[in-house]
Amino acid sequence: MNILVINGSPMEKSRTRGIANIVKELLEEKGVTVSYYDLGRDKLPLFPGDQDNDENEPLQKLYRSAHEADGFFITSPEYHNGMSGVLKNALDFLGGSHFKHKPAAIATASGGSKGGINALNNMRTVLRGLYAIVLPDQFVSDPYCYDADYSLVDREAVERLQLITDLLVELTEKLDVKQEQNIQ
């Protein structure tokens, strides 16, 4: 099983990356193969309306990782009541062939009390448009959940992420078995 974890923050120092890093660790502890794509480090060009950027190395990495993924865990900060622009741009490069019949978990790092829900709703809408099976459970964290290095350290938050990663792995396994049965 291969899960693609996407950090949807463009910032070098971000709580969103803290979520993505913990998710990567939790999945690896379960024996899952993890591909990791960091939109703050793997810089993509702006989506031009077609997929004609075959020479762009970060874009090729994204295509390859999404194609090989059996499931996704996607994170984003909330910017102006939506997901980050770099995440939306990355999703615009991808298509239904990357997501169809594959589960996706979503999470956001909130800037303060009760933030993040609009980013999650925005991500859920776009991922449904890409034919992903978005888990009903989702994750929002507040700034107090992180240390000075932007690592997620709050025990309850990590436990909550563990539950969501467990659900993602369980659904991915079930869908993989179902797809194998359909092939035979």
The model's pTM:
0.93
Query: What pLDDT is recorded for position 49?
Result: 84
Domain boundaries, the chain: 2-183
- Residue of higher predicted confidence among 179 and 93: 93
Alpha carbon distance 69, 102 (integer Å): 8
Instruction: Tally the C-alpha atoms within 13 A of residue 184's C-alpha that lie toward its C-beta.
Output: 5
Output the pLDDT for position 180: 59
Q: Do the Cβ atoms of 169 and 27 come closer than 8 Å?
A: yes
Fold designation for 2-183? Rossmann fold (3.40.50)
pLDDT tens per residue, range 51-87: 666 688 999 999 999 999 999 999 999 998 999 999 9
163 band by pLDDT with thresholds 50, 70 and 90: very high
Confidence of residue 28 (pLDDT cuts 50, 70, 90): very high
